[in-house]
Amino acid sequence: METILVLTHTEADGSLARSAREALHAARTLNKAIAGSQLVVGLVGESVQAAANSIAACPATKYFGVAGAEFAPARYATDAAAAAATCKAAQATIVVAPATSRWNRVLPGVAQRLGGRVDTHVTGVAESGSQPAINRWYYRQRMEATIARTQRPWFIAIDPGSQPACECGAGTATVESVTVNLTGADKRTKVSGTREPKADAQTIRPDAELLFVTGAGWTKKQADGQTHVPEAEKIILEFLKHTRASLGSSKSLVDLGGEGQAVLPFLSHLNQIGQTGSTPRHPKGLSTCCHGEEPHTVGWRFIAERRAISLDPNCGWARGKADVLYVADAFKVMAKVNELLGQ
């Protein structure tokens, strides 16, 4: 019989992140698909009771918790010890966890300690059939595979944004405390603080409703024979300010910086989406001044509704890559959009 453990860490305020609820959704999907399986929850963090209570109405039969100040920060030694102890206490055969940066660092090592196997970047789990199986993408999101394993425990790291978040309600959960024996060496690493960009410098927002992608056209000569980079910069930043959209870029535009041309200073290679960039997940995407070529549109694989603005009626977007293409001057369209948003 499979025991499916949802293994997650709590946030600094003791709550559960959306990614944890997505992992819970995936685990419950497996639980429903595998006859006779049992669903249990494991929580690690400074405090875990509030998080357990927040999902108490879910069909889990048991809650395990590792709590204490030493488990507050993301630290390999304590996180790995807590995760391994929870898996053992739960006698887990399948461990479903959110692929947060904190867990991604730790889970492969925990799988090794417990003689198990781990699969990362999982985007789906089997919804039918008695054998557990997972889905993940290969070759820059071009090929999708379904994988089953016989080795246990099997660790499954669910990519955030790939699942609906479970909406099970709150209640009062009885949490079984798991003892973890830490040595002084386990606590040797100290987290002295966190550094992050200022809010207005942070243009990559994985949780945004909209992905706004800028292409090289913003820096090209326009109908008047001139480039208008400062104006492009103003329009793009104003749109981001109004919408809090996440900012993506085509490769051509971020590469221009390396070639010494006038570019948008807030763009880096981290913004690049596509075959050699990232593949973000957002409900909507709007591409502006970019051609919609194949390597670029690979990055749009997980964008649900795609729109584009390009002057070229024969661009890649027109050839079936966008749901809606506006053949128009993006400078004019976005200036008008900003004006309407400003009202």
Ligand X SMILES: Cc1cc2nc3c(=O)[nH]c(=O)nc-3n(C[C@H](O)[C@H](O)[C@H](O)COP(=O)(O)OP(=O)(O)OC[C@H]3O[C@@H](n4cnc5c(N)ncnc54)[C@H](O)[C@@H]3O)c2cc1C
Chain contacts with ligand X (rule: CB under 6 A): 215-217, 220, 222, 250-253, 272, 274-277, 289-291, 293, 295-296, 309-312, 315, 329-331
Min separation Cβ 121 and ligand X, Å: 17
Min separation Cβ 308 and ligand X, Å: 9
| Residue-level length of the chain | 343
d(CA 299, CA 315): 17
Three-point CA angle 182, 188, 193, nearest 5°: 115
Min separation Cβ 233 and ligand X, Å: 14
The 10 Å CB-count burial string (b at 16+, else e) for 158-191 is bbbbbbebbebeeeebebeebebeeeeebeeeee
State which residue, 54 or 288, has the beta carbon closest to ligand X: 288
State which residue, 65 or 299, has the beta carbon closest to ligand X: 299
Min separation Cβ 263 and ligand X, Å: 12
Tokens of 16: 């559960």
State which residue, 102 or 291, has the beta carbon closest to ligand X: 291
State which residue, 26 or 334, has the beta carbon closest to ligand X: 334
Q: Residue ranges of the alpha helices (H) in 170-328?
A: 229-243, 251-258, 294-297
Tokens of 146: 């379904």
State which residue, 60 or 315, has the beta carbon closest to ligand X: 315
Instruction: Show Cβ contacts of residue 192 under 8 Å, excluding neighbours closer than 6 positions.
Output: none
Min separation Cβ 242 and ligand X, Å: 19
The helix (H) or strand (E) run that includes residue 140 is: none
